[in-house]
Amino acid sequence: MITDLLLAIAHHLLIFALFAILVIRAMLIRPGMDSPRIRRVAGIDRLYGMTAGLILIVGFSRVFLGAKGALFYLGNPMFWAKIVAIAAVGALSVIPTRQLIEWSRAARADAAFVPPADAMRRVRRFIAGELAVFPLILIFAAAMARGFGL
């Protein structure tokens, strides 16, 4: 019982942290970013990835070690809808992450580097997509927890 509680607490705290990191990343990626900001945002993006990885570890630990048991989750379409939403957010984050890695390298090589405006718009669109899909994760989780889909 205590394991289930600790996993649930960790899972929820990590989800809220991930959303906060996503919002911070969205706020900091702006036209005219200078090299120090690019490096700072790239660091935040690494934190975003690490937090997402921890969420997956803790989340799947809940599935297989939690009180409800794997059958509750694996047989529930709301669980799979949540997994699809998580995968969509993850897929949408690939372009911004790759771009931030590229910009970070360019910023290290040239202190005056400024990302091109078209690339900046593209990254911001993907991040907007992440922010748009993210609430679905919470919606499907709430529905699943209340027995919808069973």
pLDDT tens digits along 77-97: 999 999 999 999 999 999 999
Flag whether 12 is in a domain.
yes
Determine the Cα–Cα distance for residues 35 and 107; give it in Å rounded to an integer.
5
**25 against 149, higher pLDDT:** 25
- What gap in Å lies between CA 136 and CA 85, rounded to an integer? 6
Residue 114 lies in a domain: yes
Instruction: Print the domain residue range for 73.
Output: 2-145
User: What's the average model confidence in pLDDT over 45-52?
Assistant: 97
Q: Minimal CA–CA distance to 73: which of 143, 125, 25, 21?
A: 143
**Residue 34 DSSP label:** -
Say if 37 falls within a structural domain. yes
Cα distance between residue 114 and residue 128, in whole Å: 21
- Identify whether 73 is part of a domain: yes
Q: Which residues of 30-64 are buried (b: 16+ CB within 10 A; e: fewer)?
A: eeebebeebbebbebbeebeebbebbeebbebbbe
Q: Is the pLDDT of residue 133 over 90?
A: yes
Inside any domain, residue 150: no
Give the mean pLDDT of the chain: 95
Whether 116 maps to a domain, the answer reads yes
Task: Write down the pTM of the prediction.
Answer: 0.90
Domain count, the chain: 1
Label residue 89 exposed, middle or buried (CB < 10 Å: 0-12, 13-18, 19+).
Answer: buried
32 CB contacts (<8 Å, ≥6 apart)?
A: 114
Pick from 2, 54, 51, 1: nearest CA to 22: 51
Residue partners of 51: CB distance under 8 A and separation at least 6: 14, 17, 18, 21
Any domain includes 80: yes
CA dist., res. 86 & res. 73, Å (int): 15
